[in-house]
Chain A
Amino acid sequence: MAIEENLKIELGKQGVFVTTLEELYNWGRRSSIWPMQFGLACCAIEMIATTMARYDLARFGAEVFRPSPRQADLMIVSGTVTKKMAPQVVRLYNQMAEPRYVIAMGACAISGGPFKQGYNVLKGIDRYIPVDVHIPGCPPRPEALIQAFMTLQKKIDEQPLTGENRPRFLNQNAQGEFPVPEPADHDLEPPSNPGVWSAPVVIR
């Protein structure tokens, strides 16, 4: 149950802090998103720069890069996902505990980028795992990654804890494990996960 915004401000002036459980819960979740420590290509350099003093990702509570998927909340797919690497990325995502989020960073991670027609490049990691925020750029600047963080925080903040749009980890029936593609004779099998991705309609 949301509180009227003006009333909340008025009460705040009187020294009374009012909130809802949902707001408090989401505030806690969004303020300590721990990313997983792995980089795939040159975008990872920008990701590292984002965590350093000049851009200081610690302001968002996300300075703790975890070297284990079990302790991470966020997967930053930073770089080209080759078809040889894609099964491992999906497997790492499966190993992460809920709640988990994905930022696809850079042209390669969102679509294959300049290597899209390459023989060993996946045309976007969103073919296999659900992506929350896409950032274009080659590579995106640290500001763009911070923008993606803020977008993700906003998204978490707006998630209701009950009802249809509740987060996946509060939904008993939600899909927990995503099928890992198998390397086959000529391509990955399946070439995409139809439960996650279908070809968008191109409007001309």
Chain B
Amino acid sequence: MKTFEEIKTAIEAAVPGAGVEFVPNPSPSAQHSIRVAPDRAIEIARFLRDDSELAFDFCSNVTGVDWLDKEISEKVKVKRTVTKTVDGVEQSVEETADETRKRVEPGYLEAVYHLFSIAKKHGPLVIRMRTGNRTDRVELPSLTPIWRGAEFQEREVFDLYGIVFKGHPDLRRILMWEGFKDHPMRRDYVDPDDYEYEPTAHDAVLKRAQAHQAAAGK
């Protein structure tokens, strides 16, 4: 298989403004991925499938990732003018001070596709797409028109993570029932409080069971 640099150059040559970004994986698996811009994803996917050298004809897996809002605190050196009394005379003195600033990096949802080439016997190539946020801008283009096998898996991602795939032929819930309101694989999902009988509870379950008992005792 081509290196990531070569793939990136090839995509950018074929699809202008593709916005391809290399996402390294620092773990020992070293399964790096590339992130693509959602608005060009269909063209990029078509190129990856149809290019004679890459020929990623098989989409083996589609999954989702939920990234919560991240609060980042960083120390910044700030220059400020302070009025001080030096030798009985008031003076303006500049000094540097440390300041901790907090900013919130908004969360997003990610769809991850694992691509293989049956024809060229190489892979996997992992491509990712990000949504705008976790609440109202959760739309991504569906890659089902490119890889038919992605249909059910995109439905599963829609069901469990709440990513809405535009252009999907039949986007319904696949595991949970119709009318279910939550997305259970999101990290802020809270399951229903049915902890009335937990004979061997421990850790998180024990906490939920105790909370349930406390609420029931009131």
B197 pairs with A183, CB closer than 8 A: no
Nearest CB in chain B to that of A87: its residue: B177
Most chain A C-beta atoms within 10 Å of own C-beta, residue among B179, B184, B191, B197: B197
Residues A183 and B196 in contact in the complex (CB < 8 Å), given A117-B191, A120-B175: no
Is A199 an interface position by the 8 A CB rule?
Answer: yes
Residues A117 and B205 in contact in the complex (CB < 8 Å), given A183-B179, A191-B192: yes
* Cα(A120)–Cα(B159), bound, Å: 12
- Give 10 nearest A-B pairs by CB, closest first: A119-B184, A187-B192, A199-B196, A183-B177, A199-B197, A185-B181, A84-B177, A191-B194, A202-B199, A119-B191
Which residues on A sit within 8 Å (CB–CB) of B178?
183
Residues A120 and B197 in contact in the complex (CB < 8 Å), given A186-B192, A191-B192: no
Size range of the interface on A? Answer: 10 to 19
* Cα(A83)–Cα(B175), bound, Å: 10
Could you list which residues of chain A lie within 8 angstroms of chain B, going by C-beta atoms? 83-84, 117, 119-120, 123, 183-187, 191-192, 199-200, 202
* Cα(A192)–Cα(B197), bound, Å: 12
Nearest CB in chain A to that of B191: its residue: A119
- Chain B interface residue count, Cβ-Cβ cutoff 8 angstroms: 18
B197 pairs with A202, CB closer than 8 A: yes
Residues A84 and B176 in contact in the complex (CB < 8 Å), given A119-B184, A119-B189, A120-B184: yes
Is B50 an interface position by the 8 A CB rule?
Answer: no
Nearest CB in chain A to that of B183: its residue: A119
Which residues on B sit within 8 Å (CB–CB) of A187?
192, 194
Q: Which parts of B160-186 form the interface with A (CB within 8 Å)?
A: 175-182, 184
* Cα(A156)–Cα(B191), bound, Å: 39
- Per-position 1/0 for B178-218, Cβ under 8 A of A: 11111010000101101011110000010000000000000
Which residues on A sit within 8 Å (CB–CB) of B198?
202
Write the nearest CB–CB distance from A194 to chain B, whole angstroms: 11
Which residues on B sit within 8 Å (CB–CB) of A192?
194
* Cα(A184)–Cα(B194), bound, Å: 15
- From B180, B189, B205, contact of A185 by CB (8 A): B180
Known pairs A183-B178, A186-B180 / 17 extra A-B pairs, C-beta < 8 Å: A84-B177, A117-B191, A117-B205, A119-B182, A120-B175, A120-B176, A123-B194, A123-B197, A183-B177, A183-B179, A183-B180, A184-B179, A185-B179, A186-B181, A186-B182, A187-B194, A202-B198
Most chain A C-beta atoms within 10 Å of own C-beta, residue among B175, B179, B180, B189: B180
Write the nearest CB–CB distance from B60 to chain A, whole angstroms: 24
Which residues on A sit within 8 Å (CB–CB) of B179?
183-185
Write the nearest CB–CB distance from B78 to chain A, whole angstroms: 47
Residues A84 and B191 in contact in the complex (CB < 8 Å), given A119-B184, A200-B197: no
Which residues on B sit within 8 Å (CB–CB) of A117?
191, 205
Most chain B C-beta atoms within 10 Å of own C-beta, residue among A185, A200, A202: A202
Which residues on B sit within 8 Å (CB–CB) of A83?
177
* Cα(A117)–Cα(B194), bound, Å: 10
Which residues on B sit within 8 Å (CB–CB) of A119?
176, 182, 184, 189, 191
Which residues on B sit within 8 Å (CB–CB) of A183?
177-180
A84 pairs with B199, CB closer than 8 A: no
24 A–B pairs (Cβ distance < 8 Å), ordered by A: A83-B177, A84-B175, A84-B176, A84-B177, A117-B191, A119-B182, A119-B189, A120-B175, A123-B194, A123-B197, A183-B177, A183-B179, A184-B179, A185-B181, A186-B180, A186-B181, A187-B192, A187-B194, A191-B194, A192-B194, A199-B196, A200-B197, A202-B197, A202-B198
